[in-house]
């Protein structure tokens, strides 16, 4: 499981890469600003990003270009780099390749009452599966996947695959090493051919108790799905989406990165969501807007066409 280990920034920095450490700090993760992991160092290319980082309580240090040095609060660790994101990914990979830093391996633990189909694949290490959980034919449960009791993992569903985070600074380009995992709480049902992606920089992609996922749903890295959420077939949840308790996501809906969907909200079929959805709000359309406002807009367009 996660160790909570911390390390000094100075231990990771390699000055021959053309970077300069101004202030040291103790960190647990190198991540992006919105990543919800503790004690993180984050890259900031612009002053606006630096302002956002300074407002995050768990940001303990920043990597910025030299022209932003004077704008960094003195209580933050500070590393200067021409390309902050490139350096952040380099440091993240160093942490991921440090044995037992983020995670302590353990033999997979499967409760005796769980039913694992003979054609399913469960990793030999770093998986927990609780009482009475069923893993159906062809399902794959990869390392750092924690599944609770009375769950169902549907046929050909994959739990714990890597996020689509590409390191474009390497040649050839690579997928960024994933530091996090997936946590599925009790009484969760996931039907056929879904993909649940693990968190990128640490922590868990979470699906909380009694939530139900239909077929062919993609849940991207660092999402947090609340309790008793229903998600219909072919929905797409991009990275870091947060969905409140008792919300509903309709078939083929797409939710953009970092969006928060409030409790009891309703996203209708095919909606493309690019802004936060408030508690109890019903949204429709591309791009999604208040459902009744969309209906009035459509009626107005139809009326104008009729009157011409």
DSSP 221-284: TT-EE-TT-EE-TT-EE-TT-EE-TT-EE-TT-EE-TT-EE-TT-EE-TT-EE-S-B-TT-EEE
CA distance 248 to 148: 22
- Which whole number is the average pLDDT over 175-183? 96
The pLDDT score that the predictor gives to residue 300 is 81
pLDDT band at 306 (very low <50, low <70, confident <90, very high): low
| pLDDT of 307 over the 70 cut | no
Beta bridge partners of 249: 231, 267
The pLDDT score that the predictor gives to residue 293 is 86
Query: The pTM is what?
Result: 0.92
The pLDDT score that the predictor gives to residue 305 is 62
- Tell me: the pLDDT tens digits for 185-204? 999 999 999 999 999 999 99
What DSSP designation does 103 have?
B
Annotated catalytic residue within 29, 92, 136, 221? 221
CA distance 130 to 152: 11
Of the given ranges (39-48, 133-142, 299-308), which has the lowest mean pLDDT? 299-308
- Which whole number is the average pLDDT over 250-277? 97
What's the token pair of residue 78?
Answer: 């500070």
- Catalytic (active site) residue 92: no
Q: Class for domain 7-96, per CATH? A: alpha beta
Q: Class for domain 109-292, per CATH? A: mainly beta
pLDDT band at 122 (very low <50, low <70, confident <90, very high): very high
Residues contacting 186, CB < 8 A, separation 6+: 130, 148, 149, 150, 151, 209, 210
- Which whole number is the average pLDDT over 281-298? 87
Residues contacting 293, CB < 8 A, separation 6+: none
Answer for the pair 265, 253: CB distance below 8 angstroms, yes or no.
no
- Of 75, 83, 94, 104, the closest CA to residue 29 belongs to 94
Tell me phi and psi for residue 216, to 5 degrees.
Answer: 55, 45
Q: Which helix (H) or strand (E) holds 207?
A: strand 204-207
Mean pLDDT of the residues in the chain: 95
| pLDDT of 210 over the 80 cut | yes
Query: Considering the chain, what percentage of its residues have pLDDT values greater than 70?
Result: 98
- Which whole number is the average pLDDT over 134-157? 98
Answer for the pair 202, 2: CB distance below 8 angstroms, yes or no.
yes
Beta bridge partners of 121: 140
pLDDT band at 308 (very low <50, low <70, confident <90, very high): low
CA distance 54 to 200: 22
CA distance 59 to 32: 10
The pLDDT score that the predictor gives to residue 12 is 96
- Of 253, 262, 258, the closest CA to residue 238 belongs to 258
Radius of gyration of the chain (CA): 22
pLDDT band at 205 (very low <50, low <70, confident <90, very high): very high
The structural domains of the chain, with segments of one domain joined by +, span: 7-96, 109-292
């Amino acid at each position: 499981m996660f160790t909570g280990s911390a390390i000094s920034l100075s231990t990771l920095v390699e000055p021959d890469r053309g970077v300069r450490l101004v202030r040291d700090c103790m960190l647990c993760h190198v991540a992006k600003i919105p990543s919800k992991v503790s004690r993180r160092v984050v890259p900031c290319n612009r002053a606006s990003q630096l302002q956002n980082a300074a407002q995050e309580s768990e940001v303990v240090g920043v990597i910025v270009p030299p022209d932003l040095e004077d704008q960094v609060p003195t209580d933050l660790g500070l590393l200067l780099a021409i390309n902050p994101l490139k350096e952040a990914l380099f440091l993240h990979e160093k942490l991921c390749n440090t044995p037992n830093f983020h995670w302590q391996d353990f033999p997979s633990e499967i409760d005796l009452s769980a039913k694992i189909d003979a054609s399913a694949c469960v990793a030999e290490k770093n998986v927990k599966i609780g009482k009475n959980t069923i893993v159906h034919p062809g399902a794959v449960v990869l390392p750092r996947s924690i599944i609770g009791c009375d769950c169902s993992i549907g046929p050909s569903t994959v739990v714990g695959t890597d996020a689509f985070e590409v390191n474009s600074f390497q040649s050839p380009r690579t997928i960024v090493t994933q530091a996090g995992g997936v946590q599925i709480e009790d009484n969760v049902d996931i039907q056929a051919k879904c993909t649940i992606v693990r968190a990128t920089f640490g922590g868990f992609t979470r699906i909380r108790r009694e939530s139900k996922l239909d077929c062919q749903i993609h849940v991207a890295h660092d999402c947090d799905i609340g309790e008793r959420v229903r998600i219909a077939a072919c929905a797409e949840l991009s990275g870091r989406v947060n969905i409140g308790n008792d919300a509903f996501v309709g078939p083929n809906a797409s939710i953009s990165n970092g969006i928060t969907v409030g409790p009891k909200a309703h996203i209708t079929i095919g909606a493309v969501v690019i802004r936060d959805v408030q508690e109890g709000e019903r949204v429709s359309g591309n791009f999604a807007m208040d459902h009744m406002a969309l209906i009035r807009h459509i009626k107005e367009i139809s009326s104008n066409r009729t009157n011409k």
